[in-house]
Structures are given as C-alpha cells and as structure tokens.
Amino acid sequence: MQLTPEQRTIRDLAADVARKEIAPHVAAWDREHVFPRALYTKLNDAGLMGMLVPERHGGSAAGYVAYALAIEEISRVDAGTAVTLSVHSMICAAIDKLGTEAQKETWLPRLASGDAIAGFALTESDAGSDAARIRATATRDGDAYVLDGRKQWCSSGRFAAVVMAMFRTGGAGAGGISAFLVDPSTPGVRVERVTEKLGVHTSDTCDLAFEDARVNADALLGNEGMGFSGAMTALTRGRIGIAAQATGILGACLDASVKFASERQAFGKTIGAFEGISFKIARMATDLAAARLLVYEAASLADASEPFALAASEAKLFASTAARVHASEAVQIHGGYGYTTEFPVERYYRDAKITEIYEGTSEVQQIIIARSLLGKL
Ligand SMILES: Cc1cc2nc3c(=O)[nH]c(=O)nc-3n(C[C@H](O)[C@H](O)[C@H](O)COP(=O)(O)OP(=O)(O)OC[C@H]3O[C@@H](n4cnc5c(N)ncnc54)[C@H](O)[C@@H]3O)c2cc1C
C-alpha cells in the first residue's frame, strides 16, 4: 500500500521512540511487570497519544492507517505498551464519536496530550464474550448516577484518568446498558485486584469495584440504553489496533528468526540453510505481509468512513492467529535459547496469545464474519 508522507512520518516517529525509549528497558519492565507511566509523555512528544483526536481538541487527527502503523511499530518492540496505546486511542475515538461537546472539551485535550490515559471496563466475571449479560448497575439519583458492581480485567485501570465503563441502567439485555466516563479516583471506586498474567506485562490490568460511587449525570456517554452499541462501536475500532499489535509481534518474530537463523550453526551450516528452518521463515514473512494488508484494508475503510467492521474482524482473526502460530515457530527456530529469557522470542510467544482473546476472541470474530455472510446464525 502506498503511504502518504504523513503516515510515513508517524510510522517512523513510532519506530524511533520504540527503539530509543522502549527497547533498552523492555526486558526489565517485562520481568518486573512495570507499567512505564512516564513513557506516555514521550509517546505524546512524538504526537502518538492523540492520533484519533481531532486537531481542534489538541490531537493530530492522523487517522486509522497512521494509528495502525504506529501500533505495529511499538508492538514490534513491546506489545504491552502497544495495547495500552491502542485502548487509549479507541476511547479517544469513542468520546469523539459519542460524546457531548462538554465531554470532548473535558477529556480529549488531556488524552491527546498524554496527561491522561484512558481505559475500558466492560467485562465482568460472568460476562465476557456475552457482554450483554453484565450486572453492574447505574441508578439515577437526582443529577447523579450511583454505580455499583465489579469490572474485571480493566486495561490501564490503575493509571487511567478516565474509564469508559458500561453499567445496567434499564432491564435485561443489550438495550438496558449505558456507557459512562468515570474517573477511577471517584470515591467508591477502588482497585480490587491486580491481574497476574501470562504476557503483556508492561500493560496494566485490574479489577475495579464500584460501591455507591456517585458520578454526575453528565458522565453518561451517549444516551441511556446506548451503552452496548457504544461499547461495540469502540471495540470495532479497537480491533484494528489489536490486529496491528499482532502484526507487530509477528514482525518482531520474523526479525529475530532471520537474525538467529543467519548466525546459528549446526552440522557445519547456518541453520537458515536447512529447508526445515527457511520454510518456517518464508511462511512467517508471507503471513506478515498478508496480516499487514488486512490491517491496512480495515484502517483505510475506517479512514474513508466506509463500513469496516467485517474487515476489522478479518484482520484481527488472521493477524492474531498468525502471531500465535509464528511466535511458537520463532521459539522453535531458536531451539533451547528460544525458551530462555536470553532471547526475546519467549516474550513474543507469551504476548501473542492474548491477541486471540481480548476485544473479541477468535471465535467471536468468526461469528461476526460468518453472520455477515450467512445472516444471524
Ligand atoms: C490481559 C487482558 C486484558 C483485558 N482488557 C480488557 C479491558 O480493558 N476491558 C474489558 O472490558 N475487558 C478486557 N479483557 C477481557 C476480554 O475482553 C475477555 O477476556 C474476552 O472478551 C473473553 O471473555 P471471557 O474471558 O469471559 O471468555 P468467555 O466469553 O467465557 O469465553 C470462553 C471461551 O468460549 C468461547 N465462546 C464464548 N461464546 C462463544 C460462542 N458463542 N461460540 C463459540 N465460542 C464461544 C470463547 O471464544 C472462549 O474461547 C481483558 C482480558 C485480558 C486477559
């Protein structure tokens, strides 16, 4: 795909900041599960925090192709930072699309400047893929809503200044759900549990408990009853980001595999001279190229304001599967070294798996794709 000069600039800025500000620290951050809060100021200096925020609210309005390129470059170095930035950007886009002028003025300049990070809270212990089953409630009380319930695995929950959180305001099902912009420092909101996880250790994931937490009625994002569709609107955009994250992991696997296969000797040859290894690398490169095209296709449609939900699901399904499969192959190519922390491929292997799970599992993506072909199943 032919990139515009602006898109190339954003990609190069993201690659540069990843190389200088993330690469030297990522192994330690991963090992020690550090959320590098100060890094987001540097990402802001590179203009990456407001990629999906209009210029009049302090963003760069760079668009989805530029955003996908930036997420891919950052994920090539650290998938944890990439998901934080992706979720943050998806909430920026949701506020821009669904918010009132006052909400946009309150949040978008702060989010675009990196002063504030945004999180997302839909999932509950009994409602993941079947998100319409959420039970947390928002009860109207005068000019406020009172929030009660638990949200599980909220990205950036401990560090976010604002979380787009879904609560039940009406009856059962999707139509009874509303979205709110909640500051997690609101009295009655607390971090209940920090999630220990397989990978993406530089991202923050936690459970948030809401007990009699009062927010002003103007925290409602969109109308009452529109929260489920608002969450799906956000997630559809977010899937472009996760597909780009998976593509970045895949790119990192390819770089590491080519380097190792060109240097490691066995039976008097570099291992890259064996078909058993070189064919793995050939397939990795081909899937990387295909994943990129699918991501660009979805992002280009979004930039053109064309329907892109199907393309986003296809991109996420393909790129996340490819990342998981080839991260395993990258470990295999590295042999025993691949299983140790001496080489980064064990991290890519751990990080790749989550791309098949969050923002709609691979099964959910297949439901979306199949429905678009066959109608409601
Ligand atoms: C690190 C991490 C970060 C996360 N960040 C966030 C976040 O910021 N905000 C947030 O709200 N959530 C977040 N999540 C939650 C994530 O989006 C959910 O885990 C995901 O949507 C799947 O839900 P579940 O875990 O409840 O699995 P379930 O929905 O219980 O699914 C279990 C299995 O059943 C399959 N399945 C379910 N329904 C069907 C079906 N109809 N057909 C076929 N198969 C089906 C699923 O694909 C899966 O394989 C995060 C999770 C993790 C692990």
Distances in Å between the alpha carbon of 96 and those of 57, 243, 263? 9, 22, 49
* Ligand 1 atom showing the smallest separation from residue 127 Cα: 26
Give the separation between CA 377 and CA 375, rounded to whole angstroms.
6
Q: Whose CA is nearest to atom 48 of ligand 1?
A: 361
User: Among 224, 275, 359, 363, which one carries the catalytic annotation?
Assistant: 359
Q: Do both 218 and 347 map to the same domain?
A: no
Q: Do both 233 and 370 map to the same domain?
A: yes
Q: Do both 105 and 136 map to the same domain?
A: no
Residue ending a domain, among 198, 228, 258, is 228
For ligand 1, the distance from its centroid to the CA atom of residue 362, given in whole angstroms, is 10
Q: Do both 86 and 133 map to the same domain?
A: no
* Ligand 1 atom showing the smallest separation from residue 367 Cα: 42
> Of 90, 153, 245, which is best to mutate to test ligand 1, by the most ligand atoms within 8 angstroms of its C-beta?
153
> Of 206, 236, 361, which is best to mutate to test ligand 1, by the most ligand atoms within 8 angstroms of its C-beta?
361
Q: Whose CA is nearest to atom 42 of ligand 1?
A: 363
Q: What is the mean pLDDT of each run of 10 residues along the chain (377 residues)?
A: 94 98 98 97 94 97 98 98 98 97 98 95 98 98 98 97 98 96 98 97 98 98 97 97 98 98 98 98 98 98 97 98 98 98 98 98 98 85
Q: Do both 150 and 207 map to the same domain?
A: yes
The Cβ-side half-sphere exposure at 218, using a 13 Å CA radius, reads 8
The owner of tokens 């000797």 is 265
Residue ending a domain, among 118, 144, 174, is 118
Q: Do both 201 and 245 map to the same domain?
A: no
Q: Do both 351 and 238 map to the same domain?
A: yes
Q: Do both 367 and 236 map to the same domain?
A: yes
Q: Do both 91 and 153 map to the same domain?
A: no
To the nearest 10°, report the CA torsion of 371, 84, 174, 295.
-20
CATH value at residue 262: 1.20.140.10
* Residue among 248, 192, 208 nearest 80 (CA): 248
CB < 8 Å & 24+ apart, contacts of 365-371 = 365/239, 365/313, 365/314, 365/316, 365/317, 366/317, 368/309, 368/310, 368/313, 369/310, 369/313, 369/314, 369/317
Tokens of 265: 């000797």
Q: What residues does ligand 1 touch, defined as CB less than 6 Å away?
A: 87, 120-123, 128-130, 153-155, 197, 200, 205, 354, 357-359, 361, 363-364, 367
Q: What is the value of pTM for the model shown?
A: 0.98
Between β-strands 220-221 and 162-168, what pairing exists: parallel, antiparallel or unpaired? unpaired
Catalytic residue status for 359: yes
For ligand 1, the distance from its centroid to the CA atom of residue 235, given in whole angstroms, is 13
The one-letter amino acid at 246: A
Q: Do both 145 and 182 map to the same domain?
A: yes
Q: Whose CA is nearest to atom 24 of ligand 1?
A: 128
Domain of 215, in residue numbers:
120-228
Give the separation between CA 306 and CA 369, rounded to whole angstroms.
17
In the prediction, which pLDDT does 375 show? 86
In the prediction, which pLDDT does 377 show? 60
Give the separation between CA 89 and CA 100, rounded to whole angstroms.
18
Instruction: Report how many domains make up the chain.
Output: 3
Q: Whose CA is nearest to atom 41 of ligand 1?
A: 364
Q: Do both 241 and 359 map to the same domain?
A: yes
Residue ending a domain, among 228, 254, 286, is 228
